[in-house]
Amino acid sequence: MVVSLLSEVYNGEIKYMQILDENGNVDASLFPKDLDDSKIIQMYKYMNFARAIDAKLLSMQRQGRAVTYAPLLGEEATQVGSAMAMRPNDFFVPSFRQHAVYLVRGLPLEKHFIYWRGFEDGGAIPKEVRGLPVTVPVGSQVPHAVGLAYAQKYKKTGSAVLVYVGDGGTSEGDFYEGINFAGVFKLPLVVIIENNQWAISVPRRMQTAAQTLAQKGIAVGIDSIQVDGNDVFAVYKATKDAIEASHEKPTIIECITYRMSMHTTADDPTKYREDAEVEAWKRKDPIDRLKKYLYSRNLWDDKKENSMKEEQTKAIEDAVRKAEEFKPDPKSMFEHVYSFMPEILKEEYDESIRENFWQG
């Protein structure tokens, strides 16, 4: 008698969700019930505003008026959709490209420009924004978010924590360690993987042999889903569902989007990717498809479009003027290094006062 001792112990799957297609059509069965017309128009305005800010900062950097900058062009739906799904009491932990998330969460616009002009004062995030400062080291923000989520669970605040990470960041040890911890302790964490297909010059296929990035959550027992990251409705729904479930478990959401510009202003993407690839993704532009939806339902017209652009241009110019009038206080390099000022730093500070060095 032959006895088979081989059995299946786990069989996982990753679902993909799209609600709004490239032609502006929607799947009514999946459409978020709480999304009314006014909220959809707000989404559209935020996405355009983020792109306009992006263009302004890129121009400023080329003029020597801003530091090395990471454009978000093409990723507006992922950021606006997830940010608008957040509740007032939720937190977010960004990397270095989540400019639209800050915008939606109410960061004063001039602080955004102050930061990218090279002054850390712009990274002092007001408490009501409920966000952490920009994080540049790849993947290192995930353990920070996990710690913040652990604190929310421990204190029973009911708040969720959204953390943003790129496709390259999912190859870092910090990512795995963070999601493993979140899975074990069932933390109120929502991981937004902003899969824009390129980690500087490294394509997605060179990051991992996994068919999806979302499935990395399977290994640590976290529910995961992949969505069309250029579909603001799908991102919104997936994030809202994850936040509602966060009191019981964490979630990973992989948003399939595309970085239509350079990694940063220090990068030249024409050296490593084909123009045809970029053109193909332009046809999936997140703003264009939402615009088609609004026009098809007579919720938007050219007059409103022009008025919106005029208002946003004025707001940006006002913020830039304030940012360029900003004078940093040199004391901040002493006061914001540690939670308290150690004696050796106090000695340097006292000496700087005696020598009056920043007045000269």
Task: Find residue 253's DSSP bridge partners.
Answer: 192, 225
d(CA 39, CA 173): 38
Contacts of 19 (CB under 8 A, 6+ apart): 26, 27, 30, 31, 32, 228, 231, 233, 234, 237
User: Is the Cβ–Cβ distance between 46 and 102 less than 8 Å?
Assistant: no
Name the catalytic one among 272, 297, 321, 336.
272
In a domain? residue 11 = no
Name the catalytic one among 46, 259, 289, 293.
259
Assign residue 114 the CATH number of its domain. 3.40.50.970
Task: Find residue 223's DSSP bridge partners.
Answer: 251
d(CA 126, CA 104): 14
For the chain, the domain total comes to 2
Residue 2 has pLDDT above 90, yes or no: no
Based on the residue annotation, tell me whether 258 is a catalytic residue of this protein.
no
Residue 228 has pLDDT above 60, yes or no: yes
Q: What is the residue range of 337's domain?
A: 329-360
pLDDT in tens, 273-325: 999 999 999 999 999 999 999 999 999 999 999 999 999 999 999 999 999 99
Closest to 227 measured CA to CA, from 216, 211, 241, 214: 214
Mark whether 313 and 335 lie in a shared domain: no
d(CA 33, CA 29): 10
pLDDT in tens, 323-344: 999 998 888 888 878 888 999 9
Mark whether 288 and 141 lie in a shared domain: yes
Residue 192 has pLDDT above 60, yes or no: yes
Residue 245 has pLDDT above 60, yes or no: yes
Mean pLDDT of 79-89: 98
Mark whether 126 and 165 lie in a shared domain: yes
Mark whether 292 and 349 lie in a shared domain: no
Residue-wise DSSP of 206-227? GT-SSS-SGGGGGGGT-EEEEE
Residue 65 has pLDDT above 60, yes or no: yes
Closest to 247 measured CA to CA, from 317, 335, 306, 188: 188
Closest to 258 measured CA to CA, from 291, 239, 236, 231: 231
Mark whether 129 and 275 lie in a shared domain: yes
Mean pLDDT taken over the chain: 96
Q: Kindly list the distances between the CA atom of residue 239 and the CA atoms of 147, 172, 233, 260, in Å, as whole numbers in the listed order.
A: 20, 23, 10, 23
Based on the residue annotation, tell me whether 259 is a catalytic residue of this protein.
yes
pTM: 0.94
Based on the residue annotation, tell me whether 99 is a catalytic residue of this protein.
no
pLDDT in tens, 107-140: 999 999 999 999 989 999 999 999 999 999 999 9
